[in-house]
Every structure is written in structure tokens, then in C-alpha cells.
Homo-oligomer: A and B are copies of this chain.
Amino acid sequence: MTTTSMKDVARAAGVSVGTVSNVLNRPEAVAEETRARVLAAIADLGYVRNDSARQLRAGRSRTVAIVVLDVANPFFTDVVRGAEPLVESAGGVVTVCDSGEDVRRERRHLELLEEQRVLGLLITPVDDSSASWIERLSGHDIPVVLVDRGAGRHPHCSVAVDDVHGGRLAAQHLVERGHRKIAFIGGPASIPQVADRLAGCREVCEESAVELEVFATPGLNFQAGREAVEQMLGSEDRPTAVFCANDLVALGALQGLTMHGVKVPQECAIVGYDDIDFAAAAAVPLSSVRQPRAQLGRTAAQLLFDEIAEGRDHTHRNVVFQPELVARASTALEL
């Protein structure tokens, strides 16, 4: 029961393997009658193309890899959703890899993807230490587009949202609401998005002489938010508002606060980041900094294919989107 190959099909149809290949790849180049005979043989034997052999010959796979920080975060699934249609309409396949905010996992994925000779890579790097690895891939002719990563002086295309500005928006909103002491929850600080959002927040706090307390978390998830809040509630003179590095953290914080009987927003306001669908459906609908998630994915894919098409004489482009604040109940002044 060994898998049937083109050779078997060829024999069954009484033609050469070259002809079978042609039937599959340029059907118009083979005579009607022969084609029918070959197709019949294919159906008959239940023949299935061997992609490894195909790729080996082609030297390149049709796979576009997307490496994200956390597949369980709706922000990233939305980005992926945005990229998929474009990739597929270009005849590609998308594979999603989850680094889980872990550099070692990310590295493992990159090694594998390089061995697979992927067509291209969209990646949200865990932190700056990833740079050398990413360089390596693009040095080996695998085009890379950075997603949600600052328009730094990286030698790559990138799409990003201005996170410093996003941080400012959140902080300004809270300051306008009269808060004089704000907590920032998120981490680890090595994640660029976290650092930028905090930086923006800090700028505004300093400009407005508002006190800022930072609660670092080990990751950007539900759990982390809940735990950070526990810690915050322990301290005396506690902040009257928190700005969370993303919505998952914010939802965790919200739940933590509620469990401890702290009323949101009366006793503590919350602003999240990303504006995922769940934010609006939360126990207290969350104010959040919205990013154009699907568009981020779509644009990234577009840049990738542009780079592939332009080949050698391609100049990298860095697209930056502006975030906007969506105010909801979690920062309302009164009910």
C-alpha cells in the first residue's frame, strides 16, 4: 500500500511522467484525449501530488508564516484574519506560529520555518533579541515584514501602530477625567509594545504632574491582570485608575477588582488596549485604545507580496497607523 506516484499514473495511462506533470500544471498544453485518460488514471489510483517533491524542485514553499505573541489573544487572530484572504488569493497558504511571548519558542519556530524555506514571514517579535535571527532569515532571501513593530531603522518592511501615541491617548483620557494617580499594568518591559505604551503614558503623566505607578507582569494575559490588581490593592494610597497594556490584562484586572468589591469606574477606572470584541461585552464595557487589527494584517501581507514581486530592487516601506481611543463605561464619570 505504498503511496502511488506520478510514475504509476503514467504507466496506467500509457504516457510518460512528463505528460502527467503537464496535465496537472499546464493542462492546455496537452491534447484533450490524453488529458482525459490521465485524469481518469489519477482518479482511479487515488493519486495525490507529493508536495515535498514539488517544493524541493521549486526551491521554495508556498507557505507564508505568521508568528504571533499569543494565538489566544483575539487581537492576533484578527490580524491573521486580515492577512489570510490576500495570501490565499495569491495562491499561498498561511501557517500560524505561536511564540507565547517566549524567545526560545520563537527561535525554535524560526529555525523550523527556515528549514521549510517558507515564502515569507510576518512576525511580531518577542523582543529586540530576536533581531539577529530575523536578520538571518532575510539574509537567506526570505522576505520578512514586521507586524505591530515600530518604524525603527530595521532593514525590513513593517506595519505598526503608533504605540507611544496610543499610550498618550489613554493617559490623557484618564487625566481629563480628573485622576491624579494612575497605575500601569503590563509586562514584561522587554516587549516593545509594552515599553512604548508605557512611555507614552509616562510622558503625559509627567506633563500633567500626575503620579504613575507601574505594576510589571510576567505576561500579557487574563491571569496577569488579576494578579497585578491583587498586588495593587495591597498598597495604601492606591491609584484611582489603571491603564492596562492590553485588553486581556484589562479584563483580568476588571475581574480582580470586582472580586474585591472595588466598583468600576467609581472607585477605579480602567483603560485597555486593542479594543478586541470582548472589550465591549465585558462586565463593565471597557474603554480601550483601538487598533486597526484586520488592516494591519492585510497591509502586512500586501507589503510581503510587493517585496516578493519587486525582488532585488525593492525598497522597504514602513506603514504606521494611528490608534484611537474608544470611551466606554469603565472610565465614565457618572452612571
Contact = CB atoms under 8 A, between A and B. Distances in A.
Interface of A: 1, 3, 46, 48-56, 59, 61, 71-72, 74, 77-78, 80-81, 93, 95-96, 112, 114-117, 136, 139-141, 222, 251-252, 254-255, 277-278, 280-285
A46 B140 contact: yes
8 contacts: A49-B115, A72-B77, A72-B81, A222-B277, A251-B278, A255-B281, A283-B283, A283-B285
A222 to B, nearest CB: 6
Going nearest first, the 4 A-B pairs with the smallest beta carbon separation are A52-B55, A51-B115, A52-B56, A72-B77
A46 B93 CA distance: 27
Contacts of A116: 51-52
Given A48-B140, A72-B78, A93 B117 contact: no
A116 B1 CA distance: 18
B93 A48 contact: no
Contacts of A77: 71-72
Counting every copy of the chain, the complex holds 2
A300 to B, nearest CB: 17
B251 A115 contact: no
Given A56-B53, A72-B78, A74-B72, A115 B283 contact: no
A277 B48 CA distance: 41
A3 B114 CA distance: 11
Contacts of A53: 52, 56
A225 to B, nearest CB: 10
Contacts of A278: 251, 278, 281
Given A52-B116, A53-B56, A136 B282 contact: no
A61 B56 CA distance: 13
A14 to B, nearest CB: 24
Contact of A46 (B74, B136, B281): B136
Given A1-B141, A53-B56, A72-B74, A222 B281 contact: yes
Contacts of A1: 141
